[in-house]
Structure 1
């Protein structure tokens, strides 16, 4: 069994994928208490519950019963807040490497230097590689060059921004992956295998499959119990408006450019506001800390259950959780879809470790050809009729109220 060292393991999204590809997690390091409890509940890995900056590389090796150079792969996704697109747009710019949380990158590089695995995989949000704002990516690449000089390794790095839906994950989720070989081998990312059906219809020679959909992922799951449904019904100011949104739509349905009632201005809310899954499309990105009206929601006008979120993240079906809704959503929303980890792990075996794995992917959802009709939308409740009227559209990027306020603050500070 090939051995991995797992850093920033979370609930184990990367680990489950590598497990499906024939790897064993020798040791996992994670700071979050609930995530550590969940890993221990589901697997018998050696779990270190601590901040990476407070744990020596030697302690990690000892916990995994490994010697320097013995681990096959180092995997991990350092916390991504300093490089996330959401953080960038909410603040106008991101602190990135000036953010103390970016120290997690230094921690990852330090463990890579000290443990010297045969290969490594580092995952982060796509914002890590944004053109002109890629200090984090450059920091990693420069750090690996320094490691090679210090300890004599020949780590060669390949990286790519991946939309997981293009590899069969039933969820649109963009992440950047870096893969390196200690022996200097070049890693070639596999070609995409899935695409939008409308793109395939115009390409008679394409060997790709249509995107896996939310129905492919969820279609065989039983409906939540009556008791569970009570916890999944959305509340708050907008909960009763959700049933009026058709499948695959969001609040834009209720604007003067949608097909519903004019309750909101065009693009005056976040895209995920009242966002509902479609049975015929991949899910949109599962979020870690959604507000009461932030989706994606199930087409039955409710929040997604633990089992459903696991399916959208392509986790194994046998997982259990022992925590509240907020912590569960956070753990799953922060995780990496396990199928993309399985795909990359299999390629690492072949290309970098000379250890091919036979057989089909185990975490790829089956295709379900019989798709039920969309759920009918309900009329708008009377309590929202006071919102009916003319609503101005958002004036455009950089012209909204927040941007104007930020500009005035900067001008006054000048």
Structure 2
């Protein structure tokens, strides 16, 4: 089997997909102790627990039992907060490369330079490729060019923004994938296999793609224990039953179909967000909070088993830690199915291996999807909120952003 080294492994989303594709994880490096415990509890991989900045490339090679230059694949998703869309929503911009957390990009590149793997894959949020804000992407490309000049390598650099739902993942999650080969081979990213059903109706010439895999198809047969412990809590819990499947708090604004309880776009998108049976899940959050979804259509939190299924983790995989730690690990993870698909392409295009067409981590789809749940009326405790509410003034202009600007001044 081709061997890989994984940086910023987290709960193992990328690693598990590559394992399904046919790679062997020689070493996994992760800082969070709970994520390390998850990896060790499920797999016999060599896990190095610690900050990548304090771990030498030679130490990684020694633990993995692979000499520099013999590593088949280096993978990793450096922490992405400086480039996230949510950060820009709150402030209108972010520090990005000036944010100390962005140094995780250069740490990845240091290991790339030292170990010289035959191929590499970097995953990050799509914000790193936003038009006019591509400095993170440009940094990666320029440093890899510098590595080529200094080390005599010829690493290629191909990247693509992928919506995981377009490849059978039951979750609309957009991420950037950057892939390169040491000898200059350029990866041809696979074409999407699935499509938004709403777009299918506009295709006059037909399309052989399947409709997106839905949340119902992914989790309808998951048997979760202790669902009583998953009930929604906090100030807004009793408002959830009055919000339709696939909607959020915007339903209860003057531009929605419910009651005018909130101002338009004055909350985060995930506020009181619910899954719909006939659509993929929204992007799972790493820091959900008591009122941040997506919530189950039964007006409760999603269980660990359901979250793992929406992330297309292998059956039987479990995540350790309390609710907060478990949700952080799963919210930060890469859906394993998209990693399996890309891993197979790397094996086929870079290593000339024949790969099976069927994917081990693909969701097995049932024949029917039930009707949406019946809505409940708004609870009396929220009726005092009815009235006129100002809409959000725009990105970087809200109360929080104005307060931060004032404090900075």
Q: Deviations over 1:178-214 (max 9, x none)?
A: 0000110011111111111121123232111111110
Q: 1:205 maps to which residue?
A: 206
Q: 1:382 maps to which residue?
A: 380
Q: 2:292 aligns with which of 273, 285, 294?
A: 294
Q: 1:181 maps to which residue?
A: 181
Quick one: distance in 2 between partners of 1:110 and 1:399? 38
Tell whether the 8 Å contact from 1:219 to 1:368 is kept in structure 2 after alignment. no
Gapped regions of structure 1 (runs ≥ 5): none
Q: Deviations over 1:315-337 (max 9, x none)?
A: 11111233100000000000001
What pairs with 1:145-184 in structure 2 (closer than 5 Å)? 145-184=145-184
Q: 2:121 maps to which residue?
A: 121
Q: Deviations over 1:266-288 (max 9, x none)?
A: 22222111000000001100000
Give the total of aligned pairs. 408
Shift of 1:120: 0.5
Tell whether the 8 Å contact from 2:88 to 2:395 is kept in structure 1 after alignment. no
**How much is the aligned-residue C-alpha RMSD, in angstroms?**
1.5
Quickly say closer, same or farther: Cα 1:355–1:255, change in 2 above 3 A: same
Q: 2:333 maps to which residue?
A: 335
Q: Deviations over 1:329-387 (max 9, x none)?
A: 00000000101101100000111111121240111112222111111111111111211
Tell whether the 8 Å contact from 1:61 to 1:67 is kept in structure 2 after alignment. yes
Q: 2:9 maps to which residue?
A: 9
Q: Aligned with 1:28: secondary structure?
A: strand
Q: Aligned with 1:322: secondary structure?
A: coil
Quick one: distance in 1 between partners of 2:104 and 2:392? 37
Shift of 1:154: 0.8
Quick one: distance in 2 between partners of 1:114 and 1:91? 37
Quick one: distance in 2 between partners of 1:137 and 1:396? 26
Quick one: distance in 1 between partners of 2:388 and 2:104? 48
What pairs with 1:254-403 in structure 2 (closer than 5 Å)? 254-403=252-401
Q: Deviations over 1:53-95 (max 9, x none)?
A: 1111110001000011111110000111111111222233211
Quickly say closer, same or farther: Cα 1:238–1:24, change in 2 above 3 A: same
Which moves more between the two structures, 381-390 or 149-158? Answer: 381-390
Quick one: distance in 1 between partners of 2:39 and 2:394? 44
Which moves more between the two structures, 237-246 or 35-44? Answer: 237-246
Shift of 1:107: 1.1
Q: 1:56 maps to which residue?
A: 56
Quick one: distance in 2 between partners of 1:265 and 1:107? 42
Q: TM-score, normalised by structure 1?
A: 0.95
Quickly say closer, same or farther: Cα 1:359–1:398, change in 2 above 3 A: closer
Quick one: distance in 1 between partners of 2:23 and 2:396? 47
Which moves more between the two structures, 257-266 or 115-124? Answer: 257-266
Quick one: distance in 2 between partners of 1:397 and 1:22? 44
Shift of 1:409: 6.0
Quick one: distance in 2 between partners of 1:187 and 1:181? 8
Q: Aligned with 2:170: secondary structure?
A: coil
What pairs with 1:238-253 in structure 2 (closer than 5 Å)? 238-253=236-251
Quick one: distance in 2 between partners of 1:105 and 1:75? 12
Tell whether the 8 Å contact from 1:17 to 1:342 is kept in structure 2 after alignment. yes
Q: TM-score, normalised by structure 2?
A: 0.96
Quick one: distance in 1 between partners of 2:342 and 2:216? 25
Tell whether the 8 Å contact from 2:35 to 2:320 is kept in structure 1 after alignment. no
Q: Deviations over 1:118-152 (max 9, x none)?
A: 10000011111112211111111111111111111
Shift of 1:406: 5.3
Tell whether the 8 Å contact from 1:10 to 1:36 is kept in structure 2 after alignment. yes
Quick one: distance in 2 between partners of 1:399 and 1:322? 39
Runs of 4+ in 1 over 6 A off after TM superposition: none
Q: Aligned with 1:35: secondary structure?
A: helix
Quick one: distance in 2 between partners of 1:127 and 1:137? 10
Quick one: distance in 1 between partners of 2:188 and 2:260? 49
